[in-house]
Amino acid sequence: MAAMGSGRGTMDSQNQVQSDSIDRLKLLYPNVNEDETPLPRSWSTKDKFSYIGLSQNNLRVHYKGGTQGPGRRPHLPYLHLRLWMHRHGKTHKDAASVRATHPIPAACGLYYFEVRIVSKGRDGYMGIGLSAHGVNMNRLPGWDKHSYGYHGDDGHSFCSSGTGQPYGPTFTTGDVIGCGVNLVDNTCFYTKNGHHLGIAFRGLPPNLYPTVGLQTPGEVVDANFGQQPFVFDIEDMLRELRARTRLAIDEFPLPDEQGQWQQVLHRMVSTYLVHHGYCSTAQAFSRATGERVHEDIASIKNRQRISKLVLGGRVGEAVEAARRLYPGLLERDPDLLFLLKCRQFVEMVNGSDSEMCDSDAEGACGANGVATSVISHTSRAHSPAPTSPPAPHAPPAPPPAPHTPPPHATHNGLHHTNGVSEMADGEPRANCDVDMPPAHASPNGIAGSEPVKGMPGVTACVAALLSPRRSEGEGCRASVERMLAFGRELYAMSQKLTQDHYHKSMLEDAFSLLAYSNPWDSPLGWQLEPVRREAVCEALNSAILEFQGMGWVSPVEACVSHSRELLRRMARASLGACAFADLPALLRR
Amino acid sequence: MQHFTIFMDIESSRSYIDELYSIEDMKILDALIALKNSVIGSNRQKSSVIQQGIVPRLLQLMSENHWDPNIRLEATITVGSLAKGTPENVTALVEQGAAVTIVDLLREVPIGTKLAEACLCALRSIFLNPPAPISSVPAEMILLTRFTQIAKEGSPTSRACVVRILSIWCGGPIEQEALCAAGACSAVATLLAPKGVTAPPIARVLPALDLLAAMCFENANVSQVALNTRYGDKTIPELLTLLVSRDKPLPVAMGAARCLTFIHRAGALTADDNRVVFGALPCLARLCTKDMPEDIRATAAETLAYLAEVDTSLQRLAAISNHLMSSLADIVTCPSAAAKQGAFKCFASLGANDEDIRKRIIETHGLMVHVVNGMNNPEPSVRLAAVRCLHSLSRSVQQLRTTFQDHAVWRPLMQLLNDAPGTELLTVGSSTLCNLLLEFSPAKEPMLDQGAVEMLCSLTKRPEAALRLNGIWALMNMAFQAEQKVKQRILCCLGTEQMFRLLGDGDTRVIMKTLGLLRNLLSTRQHIDAIMGEYSSQVMQAVIVVLEGSYPAEVKEQALCILGNIGDGEKAKDLIMANEDVLRKLVDYLAHPESKLQEAALFVAGNLVWRGEAGCAARQARLADLGVLRALKLLRQRQDAAHLHDKVKTALAQFNEFT
């Protein structure tokens, strides 16, 4: 495991090196999902006419002409060479283009690339622009349908036509020509040496490729797709479009029948508070606004209590409470139960869970308020775990939960020992013997290389960890054994579930914690962070709500995910404005 | 019914107006509040209150220390409210000393107080009504320092007010320097700076930008100070570059670009500075585009005209920026006068130096029709701008021969110049005429028929040197290779007396052009003889005046050239030969240290001794007697006159018999 970890470490650093150049593009086009629509990063080696040669990571384009070997002028006496040079590029038949590897994704919003003219060659018949997939490459951009170009020899723009319109200045060796595509308005503009020349084309079709075309020998151009800083200040235009989109959203007219915003917003706030069990706040809000709360207060409080247990790391107790309050819930949803158990295991490592006996373990239920962090002993200095050495009889140290007795506790005779109420009473736990299946690992397994049975992938090094501290007391040892036993049980449970990658990796990650002498400082230490409890808590809360026949997600969150999905759909439908609708920023307001 | 309400109003207000003069503070205060409430939002009530003569009492209540602070505050607020009334109301307030009283009050009121804020609000309202009472704020260091301190530290309203007042007040170099010395630049920097990542609010920025523009306009010293004034780690030009970006409100971007323009034109930023080239210029070009509101486009075009007025590289850049020329061609068709004149001025700047741009303006954007229409516009500012544009375009030889002819631009131009226009229009218009009257211009003939000669001759009598120069210059151009009747007409119309007056002009350029006119008149043999036959004594007198007077060398050169031309005439030669004074002068100039005078004198001598013409032998003998021959020989020996040796040799060769 350690070897794997270090392996991953080096891989990460390699990614880091690679991503240095990628980052610039990611920053320019943050809303582009490159898995779906990759960004153009170089010229295509396939999608080009044969007269075109590429070099320098496929960013440099030169004209090599048609009749001779690849990338080289023919080996001819000087005069013949002049003649060859002279004949080439004389007619439009000599024109040749190359497209970028990918079309421009609509989610860029505003796409921009620059081309530096390294050499204008003999006549400087160069065209810079855009073309759709499949457009003839034996042409300069702009001459055919779905092809658009700005030509250096006359400064004209060519909009799918053999005749150009006067557009801008001519360009030649040393000039940097930029081509920008506004995917909101579907327009295209050019820049010369950082100066905006104005809009050249309107009503562009979607999915165009950056394209350059050359026609005479000696013409060489370099492209910058954003890996290097641009000469033109594209940020300025991006800011403008962002501000414009924001204004369009803010000022979007509302039809009258949907116009009762105050009420809608109140309902959203109220349902959100109720959903997440902010009971008192919800009541206060309800009093202030007159917005009715649609759930029983007691029911909200129950959910709130369970959530607090999970957020406090006391997953075992939470599971127990859920079982008691919502019989059938966890049985119906084994995936959820597995998630909870996995978390419980992590919390056991963390030392924040008081492990509970549950129905899978045979026999009576006994509450064990035991801070079970064993491993923490070895690294007390780094450990966020309790500072006092855990003893079997010590009350749980993790963040104190509200000690209100659950309303149903009294009715529920079966579960006479309830973790919450007991803690609230501060009752010392006299009973620490737990009915656990006997440990399969050898208690004396000091060697440590032997795999722990029932928990594949976990070596017995945990046991090894224990041995020096045996003197500290049997309780410690017992808790580790309990943990291992719990782990085995968890593994068994996972075997029963439909095997999917998600479950498997979750279990592996959790088990892997045991491989480290200081799990908090390990590559998998993120699991131990309290913030990780939130997802589990949310899953449980949603399941309970669904179980009770209510929405599993609050309207405001549904609204956010709806918007997010709409943005994705906009990107697929080539609506560039999606690049500038910054959801987090809109929500922060 | 109407009568009745007015009667009621005055009657009902009477009571509290009387109370204003009460001895009890409480009654005064109540009366003030009642008065304040009655005038808010009602121009009729404001007028009525002012007519009743209450203003002096209000001023007294606000300015005298012994009154209760609340009374002073309410009185000030009431005056401020009155100052928001009609222009007549404000004028009345100023006449009764409101502005001066408020300024005096501001000298002593502590900065953070409500009274100070009320004073500033009232003063701003007064200043916003043109003409602002500029003299009420003297350029005193103590007062201005106080104002800039308020601009830095006061409440948001106070800051906005004081900066607005100063931006209107700052109208000349004295005010500019005084404000700069009082630290206004750093106050402006404070106001322009962003708060963290958020841009400063528009209400704070706009007055500050106007103040900065007013301070930097044509003032190199203040612009230099602004260049080096910092807020945090950013200088004022850097703060301005942040404000010209596309996500800023249009008036803010416009104001910031205007400031950068003024700082550039005052010489503090060079024409190739990035803050000009990538800051002000693209912003202004963008603000001229079709999507912008008309008033913004108008101001942007005019500012861009000023930015690019003199620098060719900026003109070339602007011409390719963001379809500026199409945008301007579109602005010309906007209804408002401001837009039209802004666009014409901008075209004038763009075409000032570059023939290629001029060609594009005319050919691609079909501007001539609009220029001709603009010259007939009822608005004087539009007419002037159209003529400026025409002047700029008239520098193109090609256009003079083609488009100008097609559109008969001379017609509206002559019309304008004959309509007794203002000095500025006359200056630009006559400069344009100069170009139109160039020899190759086909407009020459029809303009003569329109009375161009008479108009130009009258220009030479104007007190303004620029107009005299343009007049005589145009006449000179007109006389170049002209027919004899035209020359006669010029001479006749100008009159020899006026010509002598022009030769005594204080402006050397006028003298030069006058002599140039004489030269052009005296060319080709027949014309010389004809004109000299009539005006010989005057012309000779003119030449002698110049040759004897203390004129710069290039003026005397012109005079000698005239002599040379006369010497080319058949009969006219004798006029020179008969004048011993002139001949002796000739000898002197052949030995003159100034090379161009030697050359000119040589030209005269060469014409006089030319063989094969009747009486040449006699002339040669006479000239040899007077020492011309000797002078020529000496000239041949001089090393510094080596470039003239060929001509000297030719002249000497004519003297065969005597050598």
| pLDDT reported for residue B58 | 94
For B248, nearest residue in chain A (alpha carbons) = A240
Q: What's the pLDDT score for residue B222?
A: 96
Q: Cβ B320–A169 below 8 Å, yes or no?
A: yes
- Pick B278's closest partner by Cβ from A192, A194, A239: A194
Taking an 8 Å cut-off on Cβ atoms, the answer to whether B322 and A196 are in contact is: yes
Residue of chain B whose Cα is closest to the Cα of A169? B320
Q: Which residues of B touch A194 (CB under 8 A)?
A: 278
Could you give the angle at which helices B114-127 and B98-108 cross, rounded to 10 degrees? 150
A131 close to A144: Cβ distance less than 8 angstroms:
yes
- The residue-averaged pLDDT of A508-529 equals 84
Q: Which of B246, B289, B317 sits opposite A237 (nearest CB)?
A: B246
Q: Decide if B246 and A242 are in contact by the 8 Å CB cutoff.
A: no
Distance from C-alpha of B521 to C-alpha of B502, rounded to nearest angstrom: 16
Chain A partners within 8 Å of B317 (Cβ): 195
B289 CB neighbours in chain A (<8 A) are: 198
Structure tokens at A129: 């622009």
Q: Which residues contact B141 (CB under 8 A, 6 or more apart)?
A: B178, B181, B182
- Residues from B in contact with A at Cβ < 8 Å: 245-247, 278, 282, 285-286, 289, 317, 320-324, 326, 364
Which two tokens mark A445?
A: 């397994």
pLDDT for the residue numbered B646: 79
Distance from the A200 Cα atom to the nearest Cα atom in chain B, whole angstroms = 9
Q: Which residue has the higher pLDDT, A338 or B448?
A: A338
Write the Ramachandran bin of A226: left for phi over 0, alpha for psi from -120 to 50, otherwise beta: left
pLDDT range class, residue A82, cuts 50, 70, 90: low
Mean pLDDT computed over A363-384: 40
| Contact between chains at B246 and A199 (C-beta distance less than 8 A) | no
Mean pLDDT of A43-52: 93
Alpha-carbon gap, residue A397 to A395, rounded angstroms: 6
pLDDT in tens, B42-57: 899 999 999 988 999 9
- Complex confidence, ipTM: 0.81
Q: Best interface-test mutation with A: which of B242, B276, B322, B328 has the largest number of A CBs within 10 A?
A: B322
Amino acid at B638: R
Percent of chain A with pLDDT over 90: 28
What is the residue-averaged pLDDT of chain A?
76
Q: Under an 8 A CB cutoff, do A243 and B320 touch?
A: no
- pLDDT per residue over A557-572, tens digit each? 888 889 889 988 998 8
- Least Cα distance to B509 among B548, B451, B464, B465 occurs for B465
Q: CA of A247 to nearest chain B CA: how many angstroms apart?
A: 11
pLDDT beyond 50 at A421: no
Q: Which chain A residue has its CA at the smallest distance from B288's CA?
A: A198
Return the pLDDT at A287. Answer: 87
Report the phi/psi class of residue A126: left, alpha or beta, with left for phi > 0 and alpha for psi in -120 to 50. beta
CA B146/CA B110 separation, integer angstroms = 10
Higher-confidence residue: B294 or B505? B294
pLDDT value at position B555? 87
Q: Best mutation site among B245, B328, B363 for testing chain A: the one with the most A CBs within 10 Å?
A: B245
Quote the pLDDT of residue A453. Answer: 54
- Provide the shortest C-alpha distance from residue A201 to chain B (in Å): 13
CA distance B496 to chain A (A): 54
pLDDT score, position B656: 62
Does residue B573 register a pLDDT over 90? Answer: no
- Contact: B278, A233; criterion CB under 8 Å: yes
* Mean pLDDT across A471-478: 60
Q: What is the pLDDT of residues B533-564, one digit of tens each?
A: 788 888 888 888 888 888 888 888 888 888 88
Point out the residue among A197, A233, A240 whose CB comes nearest to the CB of B247. A240
- Token representation of residue A85: 């040079």
> Which is nearest to A74 in space by CA: A59, A64, A62?
A64
Using an 8 Å Cβ cutoff, are A138 and A125 in contact?
no
For residues A327-344, give the mean pLDDT: 87
| Interchain contact, B320 vs A237, CB within 8 Å | no
In which residue are the tokens 């602070």 written? B69
Res. B469 pLDDT band, cuts 50 70 90: very high
Distance from CA of B316 to the nearest CA of A (A): 10
Please give the pLDDT value at position A449.
43
Query: Count of A–B CB contacts within 8 Å?
Result: 39
Please confirm whether the linkage preceding A584 is cis (ω < 30° from 0).
no
Collapsing DSSP to helix, strand or coil, B615 comes out as coil
- Maximum mean pLDDT: which of A332-346, A467-481, B392-406, B598-612: A332-346
User: Tokens at residue B423, please?
Assistant: 């000095």
Considering only CB atoms, B322 lies closest to which of A166, A169, A197, namely A197
- Residues with Cβ within 8 Å of residue A290, at least 6 apart in sequence: none
Q: What single letter denotes the amino acid at residue A376?
A: S
pLDDT in tens, A151-162: 999 999 999 988
CB contacts of A192 in chain B (<8 Å) are: 320
* Cα-based distances in Å from A408 to A324, A325, A393, A544, A549: 9, 8, 27, 16, 20
Contacts of A239 in chain B (CB under 8 A): 245-247
Helix (H, G, I), strand (E, B) or coil at A177: strand
Which residue of A lies nearest to B316 if distances are taken between CA atoms? A169
CA torsion sign for B123, B124, B126, B131 is positive
The residue to which tokens 């704020």 are assigned: B137
pLDDT average, residue stretch A454-475: 49
Cβ distance B285 to A196 less than 8 Å, yes or no, reads: yes
Lowest mean per-residue pLDDT among A396-400, A485-489, B295-299, B573-577:
A396-400
- Most A-contacting residue of B272, B321, B357, B360 (CB-CB within 10 A), to test interface: B321
pLDDT per residue as tens digits for the range A232-246: 999 999 999 998 888
Tell me how crowded residue A523 is: count the other CB atoms within 10 A of its CB.
Answer: 16
Measured distance CA(B588)–CA(B207) in Å, rounded: 67
Share of chain B above pLDDT 90, in %: 49
More confident of the two residues A397 and A307: A307
Which residue in chain A is spatially nearest to B327 when comparing CA positions? A198
| Residues B323, A199: C-beta atoms closer than 8 Å | yes
Best interface-test mutation with A: which of B246, B314, B327 has the largest number of A CBs within 10 A?
Answer: B246
When mean pLDDT is compared across A446-455, A574-583, B83-92, B276-285, the lowest value belongs to A446-455
Do the chains contact at B246 and A168, CB–CB below 8 Å?
no
Residue A464 is predicted with a pLDDT of 44
Interface mutation vs chain B, best among A236, A240, A245, most B CBs within 10 Å: A236
Q: How confident is the model at residue A255 (pLDDT cuts 50, 70, 90)?
A: confident
